[in-house]
């Protein structure tokens, strides 16, 4: 008998719902919140209010486009954390009450594990090679940067992580310095395509082992821009593509150095990338170049599964469902907490 899972994601500023039949995608609906644009970042209070407004229409749409009735659902999977507490509370409370009304179990999902497991969402009519265990995953999002050894669906170990900013934050904060809209990562990517990645070099902080640091790069960009703007107030406008290409190259190189180290240390050459920053064209290119250069077997997610989405929550929920790993009604969200 097929398992129908409804996934709900509400950890930050996207309200998303998705329905899977086993690991096969039937729908994936995402409502982006536009209210934060004028503030240069996500405003937690506004995010939870927008989730409250969006959650019913988004779930309704996900069920309708999957062409199933709510009574056919086997379980509801929801993001328990990490994320913004007020945002997580909306998805968690909705999942608990909906499941209680339907007399079905709930499955709590870790958002970061879900980013990784997005690689296992199968789409009808589309063939793709699924990662084989064990593989390494570079998870790069707005809040996290991790290298994870993925030993099984529910068995993961973090072997490296950022000690300060996340890669997405490095993109977004640099973009802010350049006067670009929030979130600036996609804009840096866009302008970088027309620029020279070697135009400028920025200082990077070296941290030991497989950990990352992006705060030195941020400071280096800040001082560089301050000095150049003193000489020419139009410096950014005149050199935007070169600046974006150089910043992107610095961030991608930092990620790649540690990922190569991790592959050498663990002897694993099956490599995946996940999270919002895995949409970055520079990173996608650098990873795919490693297929030829080092014989890596690489897994690059489709764009719809890079940034926050509920299909990844549903698939992570599906594999916990198979293990009978259910949560009870007393479950509460957590704002921090890794894999
Ligand atoms: O995974 P995600 O949607 O949310 C979190 O869990 O944080 O990641 C959002 C992050 C933002 O920092 C955004 O700027 C970044 O992903 N991002 C990108 C690109 N698309 C999204 N960064 C660089 N290049 C992109 N194309
Ligand atoms: Zn995310």
How many angstroms separate the alpha carbon of residue 69 from the centre of ligand 2?
28
Bridge-based pairing of strands 270-274 and 135-140 is: parallel
Class of domain 135-303: alpha beta
Among residues 40, 286, 44, which one has the least CA distance to residue 184?
A: 40
How many angstroms separate the alpha carbon of residue 220 from the centre of ligand 2?
27
Give yes or no on whether 4-127+305-322 and 135-303 have one common fold. Answer: yes
Q: Token pair for residue 132?
A: 């084989």
Ligand nearest to the CA of 140: 1
Is the CB–ligand 1 distance for residue 165 below 6 Å? Answer: no
Q: Residue 338: which pLDDT band, with cuts at 50, 70 and 90?
A: low
Q: What is the mean pLDDT of the chain?
A: 96
212 beta partners: 162
Per residue in 139-173, pLDDT (tens digit) is 999 999 999 999 999 999 999 999 999 999 999 99
297 beta partners: 270
How many angstroms separate the alpha carbon of residue 212 from the centre of ligand 2?
18
Ligand nearest to the CA of 306: 1
Ligand nearest to the CA of 13: 1
Q: Residue 27: which pLDDT band, with cuts at 50, 70 and 90?
A: very high
Say if residue 48 is preceded by a cis peptide, omega within 30 of 0: no
How many angstroms separate the alpha carbon of residue 202 from the centre of ligand 1?
22
Per residue in 126-136, pLDDT (tens digit) is 998 999 999 99
Is the CB–ligand 1 distance for residue 276 below 6 Å? Answer: yes
Domain ranges of the chain: 4-127+305-322, 135-303
Is the CB–ligand 1 distance for residue 108 below 6 Å? Answer: no
Are 119 and 139 in contact, with CB atoms under 8 Å apart? no
What's the chain's Rg over C-alpha atoms? 20
Kind plus residue range of the DSSP H or E element containing 100:
helix 85-102
Residue nearest atom 3 of ligand 1, based on CA coordinates = 307
Q: Token pair for residue 338?
A: 């890794």
The architecture in CATH of the region 4-127+305-322 reads 2-Layer Sandwich (3.30)
Find where tokens 């150089």 sit. Answer: 246
Per residue in 48-94, pLDDT (tens digit) is 999 999 999 999 999 999 999 999 999 999 999 999 999 999 999 99
Kind plus residue range of the DSSP H or E element containing 152:
strand 145-152
User: How far is 231 from 136, CA to CA, in rounded Å?
Assistant: 45
Bridge-based pairing of strands 155-161 and 145-152 is: antiparallel
Is the CB–ligand 1 distance for residue 308 below 6 Å? Answer: yes
pLDDT at 36 > cutoff 90: no
Per residue in 266-288, pLDDT (tens digit) is 999 999 999 999 999 999 999 99
Residue nearest atom 8 of ligand 1, based on CA coordinates = 276
Q: Residue 43: which pLDDT band, with cuts at 50, 70 and 90?
A: confident
**DSSP 3-state assignment of 231?**
helix
Are 270 and 296 in contact, with CB atoms under 8 Å apart? yes
Is the CB–ligand 1 distance for residue 141 below 6 Å? Answer: yes
Is the CB–ligand 1 distance for residue 186 below 6 Å? Answer: yes
Kind plus residue range of the DSSP H or E element containing 58:
helix 44-66
User: How far is 332 from 199, CA to CA, in rounded Å?
Assistant: 49
Instruction: Tell me the longest C-alpha to C-alpha distance in the chain.
Output: 70
Looking at residue 32, its pLDDT comes to 87
Ligand nearest to the CA of 14: 1
Looking at residue 258, its pLDDT comes to 98
* pTM for the predicted model, two decimal places: 0.96
């Amino acid at each position: 008998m097929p398992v129908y899972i409804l996934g709900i994601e509400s950890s930050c500023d996207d309200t998303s719902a998705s329905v899977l039949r086993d690991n096969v995608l039937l729908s994936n609906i995402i409502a982006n919140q536009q209210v934060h644009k004028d503030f240069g970042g996500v405003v937690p209070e506004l995010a939870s209010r927008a989730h409250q407004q969006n959650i019913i229409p988004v779930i309704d749409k996900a069920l309708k486009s999957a062409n199933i009735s709510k009574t056919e659902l086997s379980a509801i999977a929801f993001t328990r954390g990490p994320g913004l507490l007020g945002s997580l509370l909306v998805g968690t409370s909705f999942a608990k009450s909906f499941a209680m009304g339907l007399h079905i179990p709930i499955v709590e999902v870790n958002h970061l594990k879900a980013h990784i497991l997005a690689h296992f969402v199968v789409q009808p009519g589309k063939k793709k090679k699924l990662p084989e265990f064990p593989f390494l995953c570079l998870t790069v999002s707005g809040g996290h940067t991790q290298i994870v050894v993925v030993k099984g669906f529910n068995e993961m170990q973090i072997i490296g992580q950022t000690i300060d900013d996340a890669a997405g934050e490095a993109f977004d904060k640099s973009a802010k310095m350049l006067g670009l809209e929030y979130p600036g990562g996609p804009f840096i990517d866009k302008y970088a395509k027309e620029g020279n990645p070697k135009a400028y070099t920025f200082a990077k902080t070296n941290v030991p082992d497989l950990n990352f640091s992006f705060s030195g790069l941020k400071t280096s960009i800040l001082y560089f821009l301050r000095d150049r703007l003193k000489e020419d107030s139009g410096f950014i406008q005149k050199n935007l593509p070169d600046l974006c290409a150089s910043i992107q190259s610095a961030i991608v190189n930092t990620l790649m150095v540690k990922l190569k180290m991790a592959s050498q240390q663990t002897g694993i050459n099956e490599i995946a990338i996940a999270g919002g920053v895995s949409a970055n064209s520079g990173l996608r290119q650098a990873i795919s170049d490693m297929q030829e250069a080092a014989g890596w077997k690489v897994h690059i997610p489709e764009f719809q599964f890079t940034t926050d989405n509920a299909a990844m929550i549903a698939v992570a929920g599906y594999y916990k469902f198979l293990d009978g790993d259910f949560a009870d009604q007393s479950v509460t969200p957590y704002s921090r907490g890794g894999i």
